[in-house]
């Protein structure tokens, strides 16, 4: 009987050991697969959203540049002078359509498709007015374009408004992606802990092993959460804070400045004529230049200052707790100097310059978005003044 009992216990222990071991193996593999799937889904969604955001911003920039060119053409005295700007005008149109095709090749949800449909309809309806205005610009008999320019610029503003809606939608979707991933990660952690508790209750001999394993997996999940947060708040190319994170931090900085009665400098940096680098040397070289620019700027600012990338070739620098605009101007001059230095590309070098807008926050009642908009306007003024310089608004 004892031998039979021993044999039964051995068989029972063997079954228990096997069940606990298999349960542990199944839990580990299942959790890893869930995490891998979640990370893959997040990467795919983030990349798709990033492509859409870059394309929409490129379309927005093309609309802006075309509006500026139309305005500049009305200031010229002869049709011959205006014709010289038409090539640039049509080139910006090509950039617009190229970015639009890029956007259409991504995975678009219903709200995005709706905005693009409205945008295309608006652009198609306004094409005759733009064609008529273009014909007026080449007519020697017409000297005053104020009324026609106002209509065309209004149309451009409407189209830009749709693009702004699309860009805002992308930013909201980025935040939703992160929140959804965090929620799923919390669910995965909850399920993992439940399985571990069941495994621990199955046998004392495996308690220590299960606790060590659970600790390792919890650490892996914490690291994964940190990576997800980093992906959601930082630019993939340069590692700098992205627009969403900059807006959040700038709101905090402005609130602190208002409370402590300090000034804050918001510096909007836009690289001049960056597109030819991508066209000539390829996007990989352009990416290396953007990384080099971010590294150079980081070396001339304080540790308490924040440098971020808004997208494309646009950067934002926040100088907190400054005494006057003189400090900000000194930093801007350093930035202009280091950007103007040669950039190595393979066995050759290339040159860059930047247009910089500066807005000094002096306890005004505005939020981060409005502060960035003011700095952006100042940057546009710097470009109009001839680029490679700065403008204070």
What positions carry a catalytic annotation? 313
Distance between CA 272 and CA 232 in Å, rounded?
A: 28
DSSP H helices in the chain? 2-75, 79-104, 110-137, 146-202, 207-233, 243-260, 275-281, 283-299, 325-340, 368-384
Secondary structure of 136-166 in the HEC alphabet?
HHCCCCCCCCHHHHHHHHHHHHHHHHHHHHH
Strands 353-361 and 390-392, by their bridges, are: parallel
**CA torsion 57→108→234→278, rounded to 10°?**
-50
Distance between CA 286 and CA 283 in Å, rounded?
A: 5
- How many other CB atoms sit within 10 Å of the CB of residue 216? 11
Distance between CA 71 and CA 314 in Å, rounded?
A: 24
Angle subtended at Cα 185 by Cα 184 and Cα 188, rounded to the nearest 5 degrees? 90
Distance between CA 15 and CA 12 in Å, rounded?
A: 5
Q: At what angle do helices 2-75 and 79-104 cross, to 10 degrees?
A: 170
Distance between CA 282 and CA 158 in Å, rounded?
A: 33
Those residues with Cβ within 8 angstroms of residue 54's Cβ, 6 or more apart along the chain or in another chain: 311, 312
């Amino acid at each position: 009987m004892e031998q039979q009992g021993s044999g039964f216990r051995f068989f029972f222990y063997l079954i228990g050991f096997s069940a606990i071991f298999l349960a542990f193996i199944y839990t580990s593999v299942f959790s890893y697969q869930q995490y891998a799937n979640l990370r893959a889904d997040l990467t795919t969604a983030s990349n798709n959203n990033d492509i859409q955001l870059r394309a929409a911003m490129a379309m927005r920039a093309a609309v802006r540049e075309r509006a500026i060119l139309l305005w500049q053409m009305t200031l010229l005295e002869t049709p011959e002078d205006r014709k010289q700007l038409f090539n640039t005008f049509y080139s910006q149109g090509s950039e617009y359509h190229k970015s639009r095709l890029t956007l259409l090749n991504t995975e678009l949800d219903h709200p995005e498709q709706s905005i693009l449909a409205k945008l295309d309809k608006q652009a198609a309806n306004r094409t005759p007015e733009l064609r008529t205005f273009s014909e007026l610009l080449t007519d020697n008999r017409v000297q005053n374009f104020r009324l026609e320019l106002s209509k065309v610029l209004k149309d451009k503003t409407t189209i830009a408004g749709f693009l702004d809606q699309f860009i805002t939608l992308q930013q909201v979707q980025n935040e939703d992606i992160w929140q959804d991933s965090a929620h799923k990660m919390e669910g995965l952690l909850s399920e993992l802990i439940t399985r571990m508790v069941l495994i621990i209750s199955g046998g004392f001999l495996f308690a220590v092993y299960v606790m060590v394993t659970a600790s390792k997996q919890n650490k892996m999940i914490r690291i994964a959460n940190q990576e997800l947060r980093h992906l959601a708040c930082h630019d993939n190319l340069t590692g700098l804070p992205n627009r969403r994170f900059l807006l959040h931090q700038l709101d905090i900085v402005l609130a602190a400045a208002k409370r402590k009665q300090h000034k804050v400098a918001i510096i909007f940096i836009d690289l001049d004529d960056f597109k030819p680098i991508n066209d000539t040397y390829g996007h990989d070289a352009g990416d290396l230049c953007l990384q080099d620019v971010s590294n150079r700027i980081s070396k001339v600012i304080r540790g308490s200052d924040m440098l971020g990338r808004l997208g494309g070739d646009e950067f934002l620098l926040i100088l907190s707790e400054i005494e006057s605009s003189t400090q900000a101007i000194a930093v801007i001059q350093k930035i202009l100097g280091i950007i103007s230095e040669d950039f190595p590309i393979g066995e050759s070098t290339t040159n860059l310059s930047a247009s910089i807008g500066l807005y000094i926050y002096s306890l005004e009642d505005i939020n981060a978005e409005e502060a960035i908009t003011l700095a952006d306007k100042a940057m546009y003024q710097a470009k109009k003044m001839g680029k490679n310089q700065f403008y204070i608004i």
